[in-house]
């Protein structure tokens, strides 16, 4: 099962790390506790729209940009989940061209790793 809160947390963490900022800096700027922000980044807590707005403001990132990146991650996770379920089916051409040089490889049957040129995303079946 793909957890949206996990994907959202991963994207938030990457945004923060790209800026070279600490959890403490962002939590202070967003006026949210450090522990709660950490739990959101680890996908352990669901973030409300108000909280996401505050975090996006603190990171100086538009919420639409954040959600677009989450949507891209979700599409890749769904593709990986589909590939793990039916490994003999080829990836449809429109999806293949959209993904470019992304490769999907199985690790154990319940885990699939998607390796993109810039980074890797692990998807774990629940």
Torsion on CA atoms 106, 110, 75, 98, rounded to nearest 10: 10
Extents of the domains making up the chain: 2-83
Fold of 2-83: 434 Repressor (Amino-terminal Domain) (1.10.260)
Give the mean model confidence (pLDDT) for residues 10-21: 96
- Express each pLDDT in 21-72 by its tens digit: 999 999 999 999 999 999 999 999 999 999 999 999 999 999 999 999 999 9
| pTM of the shown model | 0.68
User: Angle between the 34-41 and 49-59 helix axes, to the nearest 10 degrees?
Assistant: 100
pLDDT at 20 > cutoff 60: yes
Q: Regarding predicted confidence, which is higher, 87 or 39?
A: 39
pLDDT at 11 > cutoff 80: yes
């Amino acid at each position: 099962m793909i957890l949206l809160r996990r994907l959202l947390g991963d994207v938030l963490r990457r945004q923060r790390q790209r800026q070279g900022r600490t959890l403490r800096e962002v939590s202070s700027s967003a006026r949210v506790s450090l522990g709660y922000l950490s739990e959101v980044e680890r996908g352990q807590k669901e973030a409300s729209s108000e909280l996401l707005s505050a975090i996006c403001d603190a990171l100086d990132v538009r919420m639409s940009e954040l959600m677009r990146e989450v949507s891209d991650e979700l599409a890749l996770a769904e593709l990986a989940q589909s590939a793990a379920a039916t490994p003999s089916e080829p990836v449809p051409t429109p999806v293949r061209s959209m993904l470019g040089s992304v490769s999907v490889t199985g690790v154990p049957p319940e885990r699939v790793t998607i390796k993109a040129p810039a980074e890797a995303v692990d998807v774990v079946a629940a």
